[in-house]
Structure 1
Amino acid sequence: MSSTVTVAPSRPTIRTTQIRGDLDGLRGLAIALVVVYHVWFGRVSGGVDVFLVLSGFFLGGRLLRQAAGDQPDESWPRAVARIARRLLPALVVVLAASAVLTVLVQPQTRWEEFADQALASQFYWQNWYLADSANDYTRAGEGVSPLQHIWSMSVQGQFFVGVLTLAAVIALVTRLVGAARHRRAVLVGVLSVLTVLSFWYALVTHQLDQSHAYYDTFARAWELLAGMLAAAVLPVLRCPRWLRVVAAVVGLGAILACGVLLDGAAEFPGPWALVPVGATILLILSGTREPPAPNRLLATAPLVTLGTMAYSLYLWHWPLLIFWLAHTDRDGVGVSEGVAIIALSLVLAYLTTRLVENPLRVGSKDRAAHRLPTGPRYGAVALGGVVALLAVALVVSSLAWRGHVEGIRANGVELQTLSSRDYPGARALLENSRVPRLPMRPSVLEATDDLPATTIDGCITDFASVEVIRCVYGDASAARTIALAGGSHSEHWITALDIVGRSHGFRVVTYLKMGCPLSTDDDPRIAGSEDPYPLCKVWVRDAMDALTVDRPDYVFTTTTRPHPNGPGDRVPDSYLGIWDELSIQQIPILGLRDTPWMFRDGVLFAPVDCLADGGDPETCGLPRSEMLAERNPTLEHADRYPLLSVLDLSDAVCRPDVCRAVEGNVLVYHDAHHLSATYVRTLVDELARQLAEATGWW
């Protein structure tokens, strides 16, 4: 008789992973740096890059253990659900609180932008939303968003889903071809290739358009991938203790010094991002087997505790800071205010971690594996239901407000045919016209879309391009030509020039680039932000070459800028170099004094926001003496340039003592320094009069 031996089915060996208290503490140090630098210094600390590397390390460790058979495989839906439980609840709570604060603190002009960003944040698209708007000069006057920091959460969410999908595909393919035992090696190989490609992409896009690359998932992926590769290297790494001590000291020192020595907002994700990324990897690799002193320091209780709250603290601190600045109408906080903001952020982060994150973090099937109580979890179910309702409410309210605003703007076509009797605009100043009591147009919700035709038609080069775009307005069949050249402050006059051109028989050809006046400046800067703008220099050279070839009858451009130290305005020396070049080419210039910029205490502000917040045309304006010199500075150079005709419409924008937000029932500015298209239409007669004197064409 034969005996039967029953063999129990084999199960994957589950290895207990080493608990790295030093990495929890590193997360705590990173969030501390992020918060302190944001609150008091307005700089990028490098802490977010530390988070990205650590996120990649922990995800990579899990996937590599699964690939090696050291941990049971997890289905793609379950893995995504686990990440969603980890990330979404706290995010939804902070978004809901921010929505309430937006309604209470911010003017209605900010609500639409918040609604758009809330939707983008909730669906993990915020980084791409910010990347697209980074080069949108029509938003240059907007305040900083309370949700801007969620870009990094969106990058991580997209990366997690992408890598989980990649790992699932590799697992399937290796099983199908009978190479399951090589699955880990294949995964590491693919991750290595992707790391190199992402880093190369980051270098290229950083040079082409750094402001867009900063938020680009593909340009940031190498930082998370580097963390995943560190997880692959760690088990096989053998280093002498002295080398691990050096690595830990260098890594910790680099992280502490990063925010002081590097301007991350301008330098990342380019090669300088290697500093926080490399430093984090050094600390990861140095902390195994008898961790050196820097790692033991990171593993101390205060930093570890802070690390457990890092996610919620990151979510809370930024909106609290931005809403406080909006409430106080300032651009910075003092020591006591900053301490209060940080303290409140810590309290809210603790409560969110304890009451929202932890109860919902682990699914019912995983609770036994995590040694958590099993059985009915009615409290967690109820909490999950509340979070889901908040998420739905956010989506519905955001879409409803956007629909409301779009409905109002649908009537914006009326702005082009407003009655000159009811809405005299500039004529109220120039002709002392009677102004009836009527609602201002464009309204505060219409102002954002009251833009020049060149913006709508795509006839202005954006920040990231150097193409010279020529578009024709006015009388396209006319023989006489005025070239409208320069930045957006030249551009907003197209509304009036188009009308005058059609009435008096001349073409208007555009040579425009966002934020780029005609200048010979070797180091141009973006107005308002003072960020380097090297592509402006390239475009100006190309535009000047085009003007030399095209030889228009006149070049219409601005001649002044706000004085950098205030008050008043001036002619930058770099403008004179352009006038010299045009004079050599015998091309006459129609030099227009620039529109007054709305600087209050050295900071740009949008009168439309002030009006939406309950202000009036007077209080939402500024004294003329702060914005304009008593005499047009261009006149000081008129004798040197006989081909320069000086135009000045300041008296059609400002009163003798004040530049108000509204004149003749028409909103003057649609943002902080660009005239509304509706107001420019009321300047047609005065511009035509000055052009007639300058050109003699009619």
Structure 2
Amino acid sequence: MRPNPQVAASRPSHAAAPPSAVSGYRYDLDGLRGIAIALVVVYHVWFGRVSGGVDIFLVLSGFFFTGMLARRAGADSGPSIPAVLRRTAHRLLPALVVVSAATAVVTVIQRPFTQWSGIADQLLASLLYVQNWQLARTASDYAAADASVSPLQHLWSMSVQGQFYLVALAVVAGIAWTCRRRGRPDLLRRVLGGVLVLGFGASFAYAAVLSQDRQSWAYFDTFARLWELLAGALLALVVHRVALPRWSRTVLAVSGFAVVLGCGFLVDGAALFPGPAALIPVSAAVALILAGAGRSEQPGIVTMMASRPFVELGGLAYSLYLWHWPILIFYLTWRERPAVGALGGLAVILVSLVLAWLTQRLIEERFQTGSAWPRRALTALVAILGVAVVGTASGWHVYLVRNPETTARVGELDPWLYPGAASLTDGAFAPRTDMRPTLLEASGDLPQPTLDGCISDLSTRDVVTCVYGDLAADRTIAVVGSSHAEHWVPALDRIGQQRGIRVETYLKMGCPLTVADVPLLAGEPYPDCGDWSRDVLDRLRDHRPDWVFSTSSRPNEEGAGDVTPDDYVGLWARLADFGLPFLGIRDTPWLHNDGVPYSVVDCLADGGDADSCGMPRDDVLAPDNPTLEAARDLLSVHPLDLTDAVCDVSICRAVQGNILVYHDSHHLSATYVRSLVPELDRQIGMATRWW
């Protein structure tokens, strides 16, 4: 994530003088970059938090890149777009390609083939500089490092910078061309400054609003991040005119440096950035840039940042940033632990530093200072490597698309060969046969609402309603809530057809129907869920289905078993006020390894079996259904519990009755849910007294 490929390529040896020597090169900002990357690595490895270092990188990127473009735009010919693109690509792409190729190789060796598709997506997105949008769509938690996280997730910031470089180059070149055409090249900096101010204001306002409503998206959104880059860009246009007295530069240096070091401890950046809270690291970076903007004697902190150790670390910053995250994730996968520990963390950092040093010396420097022939050979080698990575990732996708197992849905299965839940509820014998859905079929073995587009995604507030079961029936069950209510639809659809029941769906990802003012998703505000829930409750009140069906428990975040949150009870009371009875089905177990979720499919592909890829029942389920106690005073709530049709007395298996129970870490496969029809039918009949 080195912010200035052009200047860095031609800077003099760091053995030279302090930051504002005759050359004008800012060695102190190399040191700042080194400190920032050190904080990023340390926070990722040991604290699972955002340090603010990435935000500092973005400011420096905007400062250096825009400053370089402005200087070139001031020349008679203006900035050469091909030349800038070529030099930027030479600086950034080779190391990125090497790290991507290494990640691909280790993935094939270490990860089960069921994970290759996701990593292939990440590889392509990273090399095309759209990784941030890939992560935004999947609402990834950047602060959390564990074995389930992509080893390329950190490259989102590289994508944001790459997109900024293209836009900045186009804007500056366009303004320079327009000013020259009008015979007023002297207006370039003023016009550019005006454009940057407008962009800064619009981006900051957008980030402030988006961070309140959709933080998981805002964190990766390029336009929400743009103001941080533009802060540095604006500073690049005026810093040469700044002449602050030494005492004020000392205050800026001391305060800025203190904020850089303490930001990660004081602010939860993953939950707040790039909203207004990101002004904290951005202002610190601006303060340190201004502190070193002078030809007179420098403040002590600026001189320290310009010293050889920090400048050397700054020289490794880009490669170290590229390497540290995949090393950390692969280590966690290898050790099968949720955290690295003290010694493990030191090992991760040491390996990352060694690989960063080798990459910087053997690749980055060769592209910048090597002679023509070796540079051409290295360019050809890196190009071949890049084509191989892209081709392999694309080829795997082509294989999956053309493989019948990944494209066809599991049809009706012979109940004698595939008893599924009946092996638990009725003691049915399960003969030895191949599991269904297969490992490749599992990702497509989904409930009808997902396949039909009948569930609102994380960013959609609109209520999407579909109807299953007997469409012409008078009796109605409304299925409401999140994907954990949705995954019962395959069974409810069949029961509805058999019993003459209309099944209406009101579903939204990650959103159990709620009466909370500000619902949470993974600990973050989820206002879309609140708006959606209010709309759904209004519809239920007006349309008056005979029964409302949803989950009545969820995993206990503070220990073993499952619980019924107070918010759920509040919802049931609201439905009771509407005169709507509630069928509350106990949630199914969520699989995890010391708190780290794991996919059953991945576990089986990695050599596990039905028992080893399952979980002890006592770890994921309380001895008694928590709904019973929670609904004790609400006669309108009728608990349903299919636990004994998913788990036996001691274990919740990954495969039961020759049917794969889960298609991921916590959603039941549609095929297994269909095997639950007899038991669910029995319990609904008892609760509703319809049969």
Contact preservation (8 Å) 2:49, 2:269: yes
Aligned with residue 625 of structure 2, among 625, 632, 654: 632
CA deviations on 1:200-250 (whole Å, 9 max, x unpaired) are 222222223111111111111111111111111111112222111111111
Matching residue of 2:578: 585
Q: Which amino acid aligns with 2:152?
A: L
Matching residue of 2:8: none
Does residue 559 of the first structure (1) align with residue 552 of the second (2)?
Answer: yes
Does residue 49 of the first structure (1) align with residue 49 of the second (2)?
Answer: no
Could you say what secondary structure the match of 1:88 adopts? helix
**Shift in alpha-carbon separation, 1:542–1:373, aligned structure 2, 3 A:** closer
**Shift in alpha-carbon separation, 1:573–1:206, aligned structure 2, 3 A:** closer
Does residue 461 of the first structure (1) align with residue 456 of the second (2)?
Answer: yes
Aligned with residue 320 of structure 1, among 318, 322, 327: 327
Contact preservation (8 Å) 1:598, 1:622: yes
Aligned with residue 513 of structure 1, among 508, 513, 525: 508
Aligned with residue 485 of structure 1, among 480, 487, 492: 480
Cα deviation for residue 72 of structure 1 reads 6.7
Cα deviation for residue 185 of structure 1 reads 2.1
Aligned with residue 25 of structure 1, among 11, 14, 31: 31
Cα deviation for residue 343 of structure 1 reads 0.7
Cα deviation for residue 412 of structure 1 reads 4.7
Matching residue of 2:353: 346
Identity of counterpart residues, as a percentage?
A: 54
Cα deviation for residue 669 of structure 1 reads 0.9
Matching residue of 2:4: none
The farther-off stretch of 643-652 and 340-349 is 643-652
Q: Which amino acid aligns with 1:559?
A: S
Aligned with residue 297 of structure 1, among 297, 304, 311: 304
Cα distance in structure 2, aligned partners of 1:574 and 1:200: 33
The farther-off stretch of 304-313 and 497-506 is 497-506
The farther-off stretch of 412-421 and 435-444 is 412-421
Could you say what secondary structure the match of 1:674 adopts? coil
Q: Which amino acid aligns with 1:157?
A: G
Does residue 144 of the first structure (1) align with residue 149 of the second (2)?
Answer: yes
Q: Taking structure 2 as the reference length, what is the TM-score of the superposition?
A: 0.93
Cα distance in structure 2, aligned partners of 1:646 and 1:373: 72
Aligned with residue 155 of structure 1, among 153, 160, 164: 160
Aligned with residue 653 of structure 2, among 643, 653, 660: 660
Contact preservation (8 Å) 2:147, 2:329: no
CA deviations on 1:603-628 (whole Å, 9 max, x unpaired) are 32222221111110001111112222
Matching residue of 2:18: none
**Shift in alpha-carbon separation, 1:389–1:570, aligned structure 2, 3 A:** same
Contact preservation (8 Å) 1:141, 1:606: no
Contact preservation (8 Å) 1:135, 1:462: no
Does residue 214 of the first structure (1) align with residue 219 of the second (2)?
Answer: yes
Cα deviation for residue 414 of structure 1 reads 4.4
Cα deviation for residue 410 of structure 1 reads 5.2
Cα distance in structure 2, aligned partners of 1:334 and 1:468: 45
The farther-off stretch of 88-97 and 278-287 is 278-287
Cα distance in structure 2, aligned partners of 1:157 and 1:568: 46
**Shift in alpha-carbon separation, 1:208–1:524, aligned structure 2, 3 A:** closer
The farther-off stretch of 176-185 and 120-129 is 176-185
Aligned with residue 496 of structure 2, among 501, 504, 509: 501
Cα distance in structure 2, aligned partners of 1:563 and 1:218: 37
Larger radius of gyration, structure 1 or 2? 1
Q: Which amino acid aligns with 2:45?
A: V
Does residue 90 of the first structure (1) align with residue 90 of the second (2)?
Answer: no
Does residue 451 of the first structure (1) align with residue 446 of the second (2)?
Answer: yes
> 1:390-409, aligned counterparts within 5 Å?
390-408=385-403
CA deviations on 1:43-101 (whole Å, 9 max, x unpaired) are 110101111111111112112222333x9744111111110000000000000000111
Q: Which amino acid aligns with 1:515?
A: G
> 1:59-78, aligned counterparts within 5 Å?
59-69=65-75, 73-78=78-83
Contact preservation (8 Å) 1:135, 1:463: no
Could you say what secondary structure the match of 1:29 adopts? helix
Matching residue of 2:187: 182
Q: Which amino acid aligns with 1:541?
A: R
Cα deviation for residue 142 of structure 1 reads 8.8
CA deviations on 1:353-398 (whole Å, 9 max, x unpaired) are 110011113xxxxxxxxxx676xx3222221111111101001110
Does residue 533 of the first structure (1) align with residue 533 of the second (2)?
Answer: no
Q: What RMSD over aligned residues (CA atoms) do the two structures have, in Å? A: 2.1
Unaligned runs of 5+ in 1: 1-14, 362-371
Cα distance in structure 2, aligned partners of 1:683 and 1:570: 23
Cα distance in structure 2, aligned partners of 1:83 and 1:322: 28
Cα distance in structure 2, aligned partners of 1:575 and 1:215: 31
> 1:228-627, aligned counterparts within 5 Å?
228-287=233-292, 288-289=294-295, 290-361=297-368, 377-408=372-403, 412-521=407-516, 524-526=519-521, 529-627=522-620
Contact preservation (8 Å) 1:135, 1:464: no
Cα distance in structure 1, aligned partners of 2:391 and 2:61: 32
Matching residue of 2:688: 695
Contact preservation (8 Å) 1:486, 1:517: yes
Aligned with residue 114 of structure 1, among 110, 119, 124: 119
CA deviations on 1:166-210 (whole Å, 9 max, x unpaired) are 111112211222222322222222222222222122222222311
Cα distance in structure 2, aligned partners of 1:563 and 1:53: 41
Cα distance in structure 2, aligned partners of 1:681 and 1:456: 16
Matching residue of 1:227: 232
Cα distance in structure 2, aligned partners of 1:350 and 1:135: 30
Contact preservation (8 Å) 1:141, 1:604: no
Matching residue of 2:44: 38
Cα distance in structure 2, aligned partners of 1:499 and 1:122: 45
CA deviations on 1:416-451 (whole Å, 9 max, x unpaired) are 323222222112222222222222222223222222
Pairs aligned (count): 666
**Shift in alpha-carbon separation, 1:615–1:187, aligned structure 2, 3 A:** same
Cα distance in structure 2, aligned partners of 1:17 and 1:681: 73
Cα deviation for residue 123 of structure 1 reads 0.9
Cα distance in structure 2, aligned partners of 1:123 and 1:175: 33
Cα deviation for residue 463 of structure 1 reads 2.2
Contact preservation (8 Å) 1:142, 1:606: no
Does residue 649 of the first structure (1) align with residue 642 of the second (2)?
Answer: yes
Cα distance in structure 2, aligned partners of 1:638 and 1:303: 61
Cα deviation for residue 507 of structure 1 reads 0.9
Contact preservation (8 Å) 1:474, 1:498: yes
Aligned with residue 139 of structure 2, among 126, 134, 137: 134
Cα deviation for residue 587 of structure 1 reads 1.1
Cα distance in structure 2, aligned partners of 1:584 and 1:569: 27
Contact preservation (8 Å) 1:208, 1:464: no
Could you say what secondary structure the match of 2:83 adopts? helix
Cα distance in structure 1, aligned partners of 2:577 and 2:466: 25
Q: Which amino acid aligns with 1:386?
A: L
Q: Taking structure 1 as the reference length, what is the TM-score of the superposition?
A: 0.92
Could you say what secondary structure the match of 2:34 adopts? helix
Q: Which amino acid aligns with 2:313?
A: L
Could you say what secondary structure the match of 1:671 adopts? coil
Cα deviation for residue 16 of structure 1 reads 7.7
Cα distance in structure 1, aligned partners of 2:122 and 2:138: 11
Cα distance in structure 2, aligned partners of 1:637 and 1:574: 11
